[in-house]
Structure 1
Amino acid sequence: MPGRAQVRRQHVAAQAKDLIAAGCIVLDTETTGLGDDAEICEITILDVTGAPILDTLVRPTRPIPVEATAIHKITDAMVASAPSWPEVAEQYAAAVAGRTVVAYNVAFDARLLRQTYQIHGITAPVLTTACAMLMYAEWHGEYDRSRDRWRWLKLIEAATDCGVAEDGAHRALADARMTLGVLRYLQRRTNGRRPAGPKVATVPQEALPSVLG
């Protein structure tokens, strides 16, 4: 009989399998910051095969702070000729319509999408979402008793653990590919068994908000 941990991982694998079978989309954004006035400056959406549905820089309404550029390397010059969000919004809305949106820390991406819509005075589509970060945290299985939840990992840590890490972290396309790679890894582990090998180090919880996108 499988133990509790194996059953838990089987549940996560089944969730990933169902998401992919239903034709979910995988999204990642890069942003001008973390606060209530931050907005999107890059977005990628992939289908379950990894093909891009949307992959573009976005021209924000304000200059990109140097602290944000230091993380994702997107400069004001790079977005100067990029479309504004209203020019991207129709394609984005078509991509997410009727689909479950998967992202790594989806709560952050969903909030920044809402904020970007609000900045431009347009109504955001209602999203159905699933969080790859929470799924992988449950799979990884390190419990944080002080917060009463599974401990979160950075995307690059989860991707490395799953063998799908790639260069270009903190750009939307690379991060979306790694998120899809993590989801596919989970989908394949239907027996709930974790391959032998060292677990990656977990990220301190207070460090997570400093990660843009």
Structure 2
Amino acid sequence: MLTESGTVAVKPADHKSRIRVVDLETGGNGPNEVCEIGWQDVVLGHDGAWKVDDERGSLLVNPGRAISPETMAIHHILDAEVATAPFWKEVASSVLRPEGGLLALAAHRAAFEQRYCTPRYTGGADWICTWKSALRLWPELPRFSNQMLRYLRMPEGLVHSIGLPAHRAMPDAYVTAHHLRDMLNETTSEQLIAWSREPGLLPRVPSGTERGKGWDRVDVETLRAFARDRDTDVRFSAETELRRRGNAVDVGVVEPEQGTLL
């Protein structure tokens, strides 16, 4: 939250009992400089259960360049609103390294946030990717975007109005925090961090003639072809299934990665 002077005020906390969910909005031109950061904390209660805390907030950030119309159409942040805002390097650490420390940082598809929330600003904190974790914990779900998980799962205690508007940093972080809370109450933070260090384990084939099939229904030769895919998550998922069956994984030459949506 912000003080009257506009600085970030955060509550001290035991670093082992607090995880900060962050979400970024960017300008959409050139290197996509940050124009907003939002955060929402998840804390370990005295009863041993993880809870969504009252500590949340957002800051506008001057991206140092004009925001593209395509990006404004998503988050509706105007150039005039960020013209006098501080630059990323001036505010990042105050949000990413709060007083009292953190067990980890978290984000949905955290690889995007990690492009900007570098160790220079985070102090080398561990990360939890709630997208990768959702693939592991809830593989039966048909979609895994932040907002689809919101409405597929309807997390307990999520106040609808606080989670709006979508595609703004604090509301998105607030929604993600409810997914994270439920994940932490199903498994350990150590397990979530470990999963987040690996590529995404897709529950189903995302494209092609085998689209929608579980990997266990795909024949070995097709799995070997997927293990040479340009997408890291597809390769990893196919390789994992091959190893599960006791087959050697020989991927050969892999072309540069191309993203896959799920």
TM-score range, shorter chain: 0.5 to 0.7
CA contact 1:106–1:131 (8 Å) conserved in 2? yes
Distance 1:93 1:185 in 2: 22
53 and 169 in structure 1: CA distance in 2 versus 1, 3 angstrom threshold? closer
Name the stretch that deviates more: 89-98 or 67-76.
89-98
CA contact 1:50–1:177 (8 Å) conserved in 2? no
Spell out, residue by residue over 1:14-64, the C-alpha distance to the aligned partner (whole angstroms, 9 max, x if none). Answer: xxxxxx97321111111123x871221111122213333552010111111
Structure 2: state its 5+ residue gaps.
1-14, 43-51, 188-205, 208-258
- Aligned match of 1:169 in 166, 169, 193? 166
The Cα RMSD (Å) is: 3.2
90 and 153 in structure 1: CA distance in 2 versus 1, 3 angstrom threshold? closer
- Aligned match of 1:132 in 117, 130, 133? 130
Distance 1:84 1:21 in 2: 30
User: What SS does the corresponding residue of 2:63 show, helix, strand or coil?
Assistant: coil
CA contact 1:137–1:152 (8 Å) conserved in 2? no
Query: Paired residue for 1:22?
Result: 17
43 and 52 in structure 1: CA distance in 2 versus 1, 3 angstrom threshold? farther
- Aligned match of 1:113 in 97, 110, 117? 117
63 and 57 in structure 1: CA distance in 2 versus 1, 3 angstrom threshold? same
Q: Does 1:154 align with 2:151?
A: no
100 and 55 in structure 1: CA distance in 2 versus 1, 3 angstrom threshold? same
- Aligned match of 1:37 in 26, 31, 38? 31
Query: Paired residue for 2:48?
Result: none
- Aligned match of 1:52 in 26, 50, 55? 55
Q: Does 1:68 align with 2:71?
A: yes
CA contact 1:30–1:41 (8 Å) conserved in 2? yes
- Aligned match of 1:88 in 59, 80, 91? 91
Tell me which amino acid in the other structure corresponds to 2:19: C
Query: Paired residue for 2:177?
Result: 180
36 and 131 in structure 1: CA distance in 2 versus 1, 3 angstrom threshold? farther
- The normalised TM-score by structure 1 is 0.64
- The normalised TM-score by structure 2 is 0.53
131 and 93 in structure 1: CA distance in 2 versus 1, 3 angstrom threshold? closer
Structure 1: state its 5+ residue gaps.
1-19, 118-122, 144-150, 191-202, 209-213
User: What SS does the corresponding residue of 2:97 show, helix, strand or coil?
Assistant: helix
Tell me which amino acid in the other structure corresponds to 2:72: T
How many residue pairs get aligned? The number is 163
The structure whose residues are more often helix, as a share, is 1
Pick the structure with greater CA Rg.
2
Tell me which amino acid in the other structure corresponds to 1:176: A
